[in-house]
Structure formats: structure tokens, C-alpha cells
Structure 1
Amino acid sequence: MHNARPLPNYLVQRFHGWRATTFADNKSWYRRLSESGQHPRAMVISCCDSRVHVTSIFGADEGEFFIHRNIANLVPPYSPDGKQHGTSAAVEYAVTALGVAHIVVLGHSNCGGVKGCHDMCSGKAPQLEETSSFVGRWMDILRPGYERVKDLPEEERVTALEKEAVLVSIGNLMTFPFVREAVEREVLTLHALWTHIGEGSLEQYTPGQGFVPV
């Protein structure tokens, strides 16, 4: 492991600042979290995008959310093929081990992954079509969504595809037997959200109405 290096100094300073303030003021809470384990009420699946900060948006503290982040907040279809599936493993753990009551899929504006999918599917990003492209093969999950929005005016298409990414993920979640069973037993609910980064707004999908402001 000779490639690992010490942290940049600014991150070390931030850590010591956190430990001397936030941690010091809440030692008993952190000790309780450590000893009693985690009991999050909700799982949030969001994008890796550094501008999307789930805990800030909802004012959440440590222990509240089980968070999984990936490119374009996508969930693949259920596929027990023996390969490694980080997102599927996170969903399985959240539902079967932690017993979360809610799974929230949070999409966002100006998503680079979704834009890449749009460009790939419209023939503008041939490099993403290469079998060696991890991003391209991941964004294949969203191809059904692209097919639903490809005839929209160009200026509306990417935003619509960002919201399709959320809906595709919700649909794929229901292909997991343990998710479907929990939903049908009414011990788990699924939620589809989209946030506009620049406006600080939040929309939720409501059947029959589409995405509407929260």
C-alpha cells in the first residue's frame, strides 16, 4: 500500500476543529451511536455530485439517514448474477438488516451523469459507448428513461431525464423481492424527489400529477 499518503493539512485542521467543537459538545451522543448501533429511519440514494448535500437539505444529524451515493442516483434492476453490486448490497442491507421505513431517491439539476447518458444515447458521446467505460455501462440503466423523453424539445430533455433517473430507480427498486414484499406489507415506502441546486427548491413525484413542489 505504498501509494497511500497523509491527508492534506487543511483536512487535518478541519478534523481537529470538528473534534474540539461538535464532537466535544456531543460526546455522549456519539458514544451512544457507537455502542447501540445505527437505527436510521430512512435510506437516501443520491448522486455523488459534491453540490448535493443530503444531510444539509433535511437538517439531519448523525444516525438519521443511511446514505448511498452513486453516479446519477441510479438503482439497477434486481440481478443476482454473482457479480459485485454496491448499490444493490446497500439496498439489501438497508431493508433486510436495518429495517428502514423509507427509501428516498433524490435526483438533482445539472447532473453530469444524466447529461452523459443523454449525450451517449443521442450519439454525441461515442466514448461512453465503449465497453471499457464504467460510466457508460452504469448509465445504460437510464436508457429506458431516455426513450421516454427523447422526443421532447431539446431545452427540456435533460431536466426531464434527470427526473426519469429518479423514476427508473424507483421502478427498479420494486424488482427486488425484499423491497416489494416490504412495500406490500406497508412497512416500507418509496419516495421520488428532485432538487434544483441553484434555487434551493425540492419537488416530489405524486402519481397523477408528476413532480410537484414540496
Structure 2
Amino acid sequence: MQHARPLPGFLVQRYHGWRATTWSENSAWYRRLAEEGQRPRAMVISCCDSRVHVTSIFGADQGEFFIHRNIANLVPPHAPDGQQHGTSAAIEYAVNALKVAHLIVVGHSRCGGVQGCHDMCSGKAPELEQASSFVGRWMDLLRPGYERVKDLPEDEQLTALEKQAVLISLENLMTFPFVASAVESGDMTLHGLWNDIGEGRLEQYDPKVGRFVPI
């Protein structure tokens, strides 16, 4: 592959720093993870956004979380059509092979993907409507959420849509037969979170009150 290049120097330097400190001080643990395999307690589906760092939020170590990231932390509905489905494959592996006890969807404030969906659905981003737009077609998953929030005051719509991304993902998760079976048997629980990046605040969806509440 002629287009690949060596890592930039700052990343090489950081790697050597990690290898000399974190890895060196915990080498037995890393070797145990490698030899015994992973047994994560939870799967986390979060956004690709570089500001969202769930391992830091929860103080998690290697081996604790099985993490899948995509634009706007969305889960598509179950669709066994023979096509390639990265998010669905990750969910299947986490639930059926790893037997995770918790499946957590984490949304966040100032989400660029959600902003793109809002712009697209309100007619401000015609480029996302094009069939060739990967982002636009992915954000089609959130169109039902836009319909639910479009009549709110304008300054409330984006935050509400960010939370709809979490709720729609939870709804779509239950269309997967193996997810529904694990939830209904009590072997796994679903959780929906929203992270306010600037304030460091975390909210969780409470079905008893039908809204997100502070943790």
C-alpha cells in the first residue's frame, strides 16, 4: 500500500512514553488480557466526536468496556439484508459472544452529526440530501427524532434532538431479536445517557418520568 506513511513524530513519542510508564507498570495485567481474552461488563455506543471519552468519564481500565463509535451514536434498526452493517455487527458480537450485562448509548452536547441532521431536515443542508452523502444517509436514521422536536422553541431543538438520537437508538436496539431476548430475560439492561461536554454533566433517561435526569 504505497499511500501509507509512518506515524507523525508526536504520536511515536507518546507511544514510547506510554510503553515506558503505563504499560511497564501494568505489564502483567496487559499480558493477562491478551492471554485470557476480553470479558467486558458493558458495551458502550458513543459518538465519534473526539471530545467524548467514555473511558475517562467512568474511569475505566482496559478490558472493561466494549466500545463502538459512530456519527451521532446511532443504532440502525435490525436489517438482515446481507449487506455490511458495522454497528449491527458490533452489537451482535457484544451480546451473543461477549454476553455483556449492560448496553449503554451515550449522546452528547454540541454534536456535529445531530446539527447536520437538523440542518438537513430543515432545508439548510441540501448537500446532505444527495444520495452520495454517507453522512446524510446515516443521519436519515434520526429524521423521526427531528419530527418529534421540530415544533419546540428553536433554542431547545438541538439539545432535544441530541437526546432523541439516544432514544431512537434504544428503540432500534429492541428490534434486534437477540437484544430483545437478553433484555426480556434479565440477562442484559439498556441505558441511555447524555453528556454535557462543557459542564461535565451526565444525564440518564428515566422511563418512569419519560425524560433525561441528572445522575
TM tier relative to shorter chain: over 0.9
Q: Deviations over 1:12-46 (max 9, x none)?
A: 00000000000000010000000000000000000
Paired with 2:207 and 2:174, the residues of 1 have a C-alpha distance of 16
1:199 maps to 2:199: yes
Q: Which residue of 1 aligns with 2:158?
A: 158
Q: Deviations over 1:48-80 (max 9, x none)?
A: 000000100000000000000000000000000
Paired with 1:81 and 1:132, the residues of 2 have a C-alpha distance of 20
Q: Which residue of 1 aligns with 2:82?
A: 82
The number of residues matched between the two structures is 214
Q: CA RMSD in A?
A: 0.4
Could you list the structure 1 runs, at least 4 aligned residues long, displaced by more than 6 angstroms after superposition: none
Q: Which amino acid in structure 1 is aligned with residue 183 of structure 2?
A: V
Q: Report the TM-score when normalising by structure 2.
A: 0.99
Q: Which amino acid in structure 1 is aligned with residue 25 of structure 2?
A: D
Q: Which amino acid in structure 1 is aligned with residue 212 of structure 2?
A: F
Q: Which amino acid in structure 2 is aligned with residue 127 of structure 1?
A: E
Shift of 1:208: 3.3
Q: Secondary structure at the match of 2:203?
A: strand
Q: Which residue of 2 aligns with 1:212?
A: 213
Paired with 2:138 and 2:214, the residues of 1 have a C-alpha distance of 29
Q: Report the TM-score when normalising by structure 1.
A: 0.99
- Residues 119-130 of structure 1 aligned to structure 2 (within 5 Å): 119-130=119-130
Paired with 2:147 and 2:86, the residues of 1 have a C-alpha distance of 26
Q: Which amino acid in structure 1 is aligned with residue 155 of structure 2?
A: E
Q: Which amino acid in structure 2 is aligned with residue 93 of structure 1?
A: Y
Q: Deviations over 1:147-197 (max 9, x none)?
A: 100100100001000000000000000000000000010001000000000
Q: Which residue of 2 aligns with 1:13?
A: 13
